[in-house]
Amino acid sequence: MSALKEYQAKRKFNKTTEPKGEISESESRRFVVHEHHARSLHYDLRLETEGVLKSWAVPKGVPEEPGVKRLAVQVEDHPVGYIDFSGIIPEGEYGAGEVKIWDKGEWDYIEGDLEKGSIKFNLRGEKLKGEYALVRFKDSSRFAGEASKKNWLIFKIKEH
């Protein structure tokens, strides 16, 4: 099953200008943060890994200073081509609203494992620079079941 099946199923590519995309063979580690003026404004952090962009919707944005923890809700993997996407998703379509690139750059792995719900990494963007962590919620699983697997915290550990 394609890792992009959920992404593609949610969108009508004759209506939206978002890329349909495919699994990439690139080994690069780029990242983008989209500013997404959907029903409510949020920021989408996307990390290039394993041929896709692993993606989180961060309602209040990725923190620029250490000591601030923000909710990051994991969403469907996006195609690597989405890293350059900006534009307006039409009214009535999934994610309708304007999408702008808020920051982009490269990231480096430090330690941990996304599959296991904990990773440390460096961001090297224009705005976001430094050591970060993404940690999946543990405690809520027995209350919220599958849904809780989507809830992570993102925080900045330190400047470089």
| Inter-residue contact 64 to 154 (CB < 8 Å) | no
Strand partners, 153: 71, 135
Strand partners, 70: 154
Site mask for Mn ion (CB under 5 A), range 35-74, x = bound: -x-------x------------------------------
In the bound state with Mn ion, the residue whose beta carbon lies nearer, of 71 and 157, is 71
Number of H helices and E strands in the chain, helices first, is 2, 9
Pick the piece of the chain touching Mn ion (CB under 5 A) from 8-16, 33-41, 65-73, 82-90.
33-41
Binding of Mn ion at residue 77 (CB under 5 A)?
A: no
Please tell me the total number of residues recorded for the chain in this structure: 160
The least CB distance from residue 54 to Mn ion, in Å, is 14
- Which positions touch Mn ion (CB under 5 A)? 36, 44
